[in-house]
Amino acid sequence: MKKRNRGINKMITKTQIQKAGFPTGVALLHDASLNKGTAFTEKERDMFGLRGLLPPRVCTLDTQVMRVLENFRRKSDDLEKYIFLMGLQARNETLFYRVLVDNLDEMMPIIYTPTVGQACQEYGHIFRSPRGLFISAKDRGRVPDLLRNWPHEDVRIIVVTDGERILGLGDLGANGMGIPVGKLALYTACAGVHPRLTLPVTLDVGTENEQLLDDPLYIGIPEQRIRGKAYDELFDEFLVAAQDFFPHVMIQLEDFANANAFRLLKKYRNQTCIFDDDIQGTAAVALAGLYSALRITKGTFKDQRILFFGAGQAGIGIGDLIVAGLVDEGLPVKDARSRCWFVDSKGLVVKGRRNLAEHKLAYAHDHEFLPDLLSAVESLRPTAIIGVSGQPGMFTEKVLRAMARFNERPIVFALSNPTSKTECTAEEAYAWTEGRAIFASGSPFDPVTLNGKTYIPAQGNNAYIFPGLGLGVIACGAKHITDRMFLLAAKALAHEISEDDLKEGHIYPPLAKIRSVSAVIAAAVCEVAYDQGIASKKRPQDLLEMIKSQMYWPEYWT
């Protein structure tokens, strides 16, 4: 990854700054995308009117990173660490991303799950400075004016939420802005998408959260959510305006409630370059984990029986991609769907149930109704259970011991976020299966020592998929995002697991490799776009090398 900052990520030069009338003096120090802080050289301090505005000693970027880490590690709790990092991002973007890229294992749980969940819950109380665009229900009819206020013209990726289903925490309204901000930071850190190409957006359409409505520090409109026609008109106005202002933009839907998530994706996916990370990104990372787990169990994909606890957008999304993977291996659709079973809040999803939501119908099989997860496990004897319910503790001791009775190496994915909502902890999964579980979770867990053996839990984080997907879309100019892109992304991710990783029980690559993994995923996405005729850019001779050359690396302009 040594060839950096070419093409869309070309570095800014001093001459360009002078010719373009870029800020100088205090204004330059207050521009996070240009600010170097104490790393401005002696010559630059004279050139840009910074003499006397900075301490006299010139520091290197490495020295600044050292100072940041020292201060970061002094913070008393994770929320304080989050506030500190967001402050750094607001004043020196390059330094923020260098710290993040070089310390991803330590930083990711702070800028994203699980800490971002707490940050969203308390967003109005920790609010320091605005980031991204807030588009409210009161802005109908003037959304283009709001987008016109954004300072960067070449936006390639928008992450947008309406805050109704933030992680497993529910309706947090405008406080949900922490999710788009965090996701886009990962696009840059994990896949080298230049931060100037990204835009976080929150659609503030109200909230049903009474606690927020009564909170004088809540940052959103303290009104009930708009629904129906008014909601659709606002979303449509936003989508049309976004494409008008940013014609090459990819839009990622994030943390919408089930009804809107499925509906909006279905409505717009063939009209624009859009996807839903909770439905499709989660699916790809889960499928990659299954592929890797089967290399450990020595099982075949078509012989698996997978039981989901939770039949919302994440569960159905994973099920649909598993079906696509099985069909790709030659199974008829009906047979592929018969491998996936769902338990929702009322029990096993079967044909005999009335009033099933539309997205569940394809997985309503012929079987007697069973009232809960344990009875479903006992009856169906699945090889894998996947938790996407947002209901903590539902993978009970009885459930996990049953899985261990039926399987030598039971596959247990407790994917609900944040940690407080996970279906079981890593320690429980290993302890209740005598250390035989192949475990993955949505949020990170510390290593577990059991009977003298240490287990390192896998984290099925969507950051393994969506940054590489976005990088690929930008690189080839994909006009749409297709299901096959996610299937090939899952296969590419699973292929990046080495035999040594598998021997240690890992089913995802180490985070230290995520930028190279993202490049491989981006290449897979591009290949699909070229094969399906939806790429707007000419295919380069060396696709992977072209992608790597476009990846932003956080270093100061010269």
- In this prediction, residue 142 carries a pLDDT of 97
- In this prediction, residue 2 carries a pLDDT of 35
Domain 285-460, CATH 3.30.420.40 — does that match? no
Show me where the domains of the chain are located: 7-101, 106-272, 285-460, 468-474+482-549
* Residue with tokens 């996610």, as numbered in its chain: 486
Over its length of 558 residues, how does the chain's per-residue pLDDT go in tens digits? 333 333 344 455 556 666 566 799 999 999 999 999 999 999 999 999 999 999 999 999 999 999 999 999 999 999 999 999 999 999 999 999 999 999 999 999 999 999 999 999 999 999 999 999 999 999 999 999 999 999 999 999 999 999 999 998 999 999 999 999 999 999 999 999 999 999 999 999 999 999 999 999 999 999 999 999 999 999 999 999 999 999 999 999 999 999 999 999 999 999 999 999 999 999 999 999 999 999 999 999 999 999 999 999 999 999 999 999 999 999 999 999 999 999 999 999 999 999 999 999 999 999 999 999 999 999 999 999 999 999 999 999 999 999 999 999 999 999 999 999 999 999 999 999 999 999 999 999 999 999 999 999 999 999 999 999 999 999 999 999 999 999 999 999 999 999 988 988 899 999 999 999 999 999 999 999 999 999 999 999 999 999 999 999 999 998
Catalytic residue among 81, 97, 123, 183: 183
Question: Would you call 231 a catalytic residue per the annotation?
Answer: no
What's the token pair of residue 217? 């520090």
Domain 106-272, CATH 3.90.480.20 — does that match? no
CATH of 7-101, one of 2.40.30.270, 1.20.1370.30, 1.10.1660.10, 1.10.10.10: 1.20.1370.30
Q: What is the pTM of this model?
A: 0.94
What's the token pair of residue 558? 């010269």
Catalytic residue among 81, 82, 97, 112: 112
How far is the C-alpha of 454 from the C-alpha of 5, rounded, in Å?
41
- In this prediction, residue 503 carries a pLDDT of 86
**Would the CATH topology of 106-272 be identical to that of 285-460?**
yes
Q: Are strands 347-348 and 340-344 parallel, antiparallel or unpaired?
A: antiparallel
- In this prediction, residue 358 carries a pLDDT of 92
Q: Within 13 Å and on the Cβ side, how many CA atoms surround 384? A: 32
Question: Helix (H) and strand (E) counts for the chain?
Answer: 25, 14
- In this prediction, residue 5 carries a pLDDT of 39
Q: Within 13 Å and on the Cβ side, how many CA atoms surround 165? A: 18
DSSP 323: H
Burial class (CB in 10 A: 0-12, 13-18, 19+), 395: buried
The answer to whether the Cα torsion of 401, 402, 406, 409 is positive or negative is negative
- In this prediction, residue 504 carries a pLDDT of 84
How far is the C-alpha of 65 from the C-alpha of 556, rounded, in Å?
13
Specify the 3-state DSSP secondary structure of 340.
strand
For 67-115, give the DSSP string: HHHHHHHH-SSHHHHHHHHHHHHHH-HHHHHHHHHHTHHHHHHHHSTTH
- In this prediction, residue 3 carries a pLDDT of 36
Question: Would you call 346 a catalytic residue per the annotation?
Answer: no
